[in-house]
Structure 1
Amino acid sequence: MKILITGGTGLIGKELLKLIMTHHLVVLTRNVDEAERQLSHIHSGKLRFIQSLEQFTTLDEFDAVINLAGEPIADKRWSKRQKRRICDSRWAITQQITTLIQASEHPPHTFISGSAVGYYGDHQNDIIDETVEVHSNGFSHYVCSNWEKIALRAQSDKTRVCLLRTGVVLSSEGGALKKMLLPYQLGLGGPIGRGRQYFPWIHMIDMVRAIVYLLEHGRASGPFNMAAPHPVTNKVFSQCLARTLKRPHILFTPAFAIKLAMGESSELLLDSLRAKPKKLSDLGFQFHFCRIEPALKHLIHHTH
């Protein structure tokens, strides 16, 4: 297949490219030199880089598009300017791709586009699958809802659209787990707030395997919860991480301190999302890491 990819230098993108490097890959990036450096682990003569979609009037030459681009949502406080950046970095590129697919006579048969479990908003202890109707005023829902609507406009009898409602991707290379490791290693780890909020996690290996599974399964379309079958509460996750690192688990961070430090973006840590991957499971996808303890042991072992 010939595949167009955005976000190829991101945490997920770099791992995904390892799995699909036998295909012809075209990676959209703002900085080609930097992308070549970051993706030097991809030994493929079938990989090329482009800086803009402006050179295309259609996407007829591509069999599939995987859209993973977006400003990290958790790295900075949500000022008005940062919110705009978060939205624009997702919506604009997705709209460009959708417009090009709509203009194509022989469009890509598959468009896989990013989203997040933040789409659902806080659901306390309720189990969330892809059929849940959402009424949320949260910023995460606002971002994801519009992002998905834009991507779905590319859907037709020639193109199927899959939406990746991604949970917290656990990787030894970066992301949330890497940020957590130091305080836990110093014995300063612990639950956030009461720790009762559910934490939808997925091991990086399963994340990229699931994307490839959706790419190869012609029946797959619509939203998919990219989260392991057994979400855990923040407290259980925290205890498990401390135990895996053989460190104490005595401290906790009160919710008010998180709200003070992070402002509105504290919803990313305090909202409860008991998301289950019903549609992936129904398709027959088999997770390598269903439970948090083996997942963390594998990741910590690979970190050290």
Structure 2
Amino acid sequence: MKIAITGGTGFVGQALTKAFLKNNHEVFILSRKNLQTPEKGLHYVQWLTSGSKPEDSLTDIDVFINLAGESLNSGRWTADRKKRIIDSRVEATKEVIRILAQLETKPSVLINASAVGYYGISREKEFTEADQEHGEDFLAKTVVTWEQEALAAEKLGIRTVLTRFGIILDSQEGALPKMVLPYKLLAGGTVGSGKQWLSWVHIDDVVGLIQHAITNPSIKGPINTVAPRPVKMKEFGQTIAQVLNKPHWLPAPSFALKALLGEMSILVLEGQKVLPQKAKDSDYVFAYNKLEDALTDILK
């Protein structure tokens, strides 16, 4: 297959690219920079720059994956940064739709990144893709806006999948290295109340679920890209300590994190219990459905 990826040099994009090339697919990474590569099957295409026409290099694309957007962890959520978080996603997705409209032969599917933040925060509810009500916090509103832009691809006759990512676990990227560091320094402990839910997923299952969505034409709309066994933050920390054989004793109180991170503290102090119902219904087999197994693979 010929697969186009925006945000292909990022965390998830790199993992996908590696898997696609291993399976002998051709990968076209859209980048603002004029990059070159000697690697067989990998191509860079300029976009979002003056005069660039990426559609000219994307003929007969089978799959389009949109992962572009400023990181939520890139700094304190000032008014300016929140605007950039939203605008970067909207701008990129509008350009994806423009490109798709220009292509004479449309891809069979658009996979658009999203997040479980759609559901808002709760300590009591369980959420599946059947839940259509969204939260009212900044993250939820950002996701709603992002998804609405992506769904314009349906009007072009393109099956559209919204991968609602949970907390993605990886040894080098994402939130896990920052969460593990205190334990390595013998200062790990419960973050906030410890009662907030954490819907996690191993990076291998992110890749696996996206590949699953590509090859299963019955999958469309949102798909919760999370493991089937979410845990509360206290259990998450205790499992890190167990796998690393380190103590779990020094708590990080909510008030201190709010003072340090401001509104961005919602990423660690609040959460939601999200279940991958569509993955289950379509017979996806998780490589890692238990947190201990996922952390053992990553940290040892």
TM-score normalised by the chain length of structure 1: 0.92
Q: Secondary structure at the match of 1:266?
A: helix
Correspondence for 2:236 = 237
Closer, same or farther: CA 191–232 of 1 in aligned 2, 3 Å: same
Closer, same or farther: CA 135–174 of 1 in aligned 2, 3 Å: closer
In 2, Cα distance between equivalents of 1:158 and 1:221? 12
In 2, Cα distance between equivalents of 1:136 and 1:200? 16
How far did residue 150 of structure 1 move? 0.3
What are the superposed Cα offsets for residues 173-206 of structure 1, whole Å, 9 maximum, x if unpaired? 2211111222111111111111000001000111
Correspondence for 1:67 = 66
Task: Output the amino acid matched with 2:28.
Answer: V
- The 8 Å contact of residues 101 and 156 in structure 2, kept in 1 or not, is answered as no
TM-score normalised by the chain length of structure 2: 0.93
Correspondence for 1:6 = 6
Correspondence for 2:42 = 47
- The 8 Å contact of residues 121 and 271 in structure 1, kept in 2 or not, is answered as no
- The 8 Å contact of residues 162 and 221 in structure 1, kept in 2 or not, is answered as yes
What are the superposed Cα offsets for residues 96-135 of structure 1, whole Å, 9 maximum, x if unpaired? 1112223444311110000111111102121110111324
- The 8 Å contact of residues 241 and 296 in structure 1, kept in 2 or not, is answered as yes
Q: Percent identity?
A: 37
- The 8 Å contact of residues 99 and 154 in structure 1, kept in 2 or not, is answered as no
What's the RMSD between the two structures over aligned residues? Answer: 1.7
Q: Which moved more, 1:196-205 or 1:174-183?
A: 174-183
Closer, same or farther: CA 282–157 of 1 in aligned 2, 3 Å: farther
How far did residue 208 of structure 1 move? 0.6
In 2, Cα distance between equivalents of 1:237 and 1:229? 15
Closer, same or farther: CA 94–157 of 1 in aligned 2, 3 Å: closer
Describe how 1:24-35 pairs up with structure 2 within 5 A: 24-33=26-35
Q: Which runs of 5+ in 2 are unaligned?
A: none
Closer, same or farther: CA 283–156 of 1 in aligned 2, 3 Å: farther
How far did residue 3 of structure 1 move? 1.3
In 2, Cα distance between equivalents of 1:51 and 1:221? 28
In 2, Cα distance between equivalents of 1:80 and 1:63? 38
Correspondence for 1:116 = 115
In 1, Cα distance between equivalents of 2:55 and 2:242? 54
How far did residue 10 of structure 1 move? 0.8
Correspondence for 2:250 = 251
1:141 aligns with 2:135: no
Instruction: Count how many residue pairs are aligned between Structure 1 and Structure 2.
Output: 294
In 2, Cα distance between equivalents of 1:80 and 1:150? 22
Q: Secondary structure at the match of 1:225?
A: strand
Task: Output the amino acid matched with 2:220.
Answer: S
Describe how 1:1-304 pairs up with structure 2 within 5 A: 1-21=1-21, 22-33=24-35, 36=37, 44-52=39-47, 54-56=52-54, 60-156=59-155, 158-301=157-300
- The 8 Å contact of residues 11 and 173 in structure 1, kept in 2 or not, is answered as no
How far did residue 60 of structure 1 move? 5.0
How far did residue 61 of structure 1 move? 2.7
What are the superposed Cα offsets for residues 148-176 of structure 1, whole Å, 9 maximum, x if unpaired? 00000111473100001000100012211
What are the superposed Cα offsets for residues 230-278 of structure 1, whole Å, 9 maximum, x if unpaired? 0000000000001111111111111111111111111111222100110
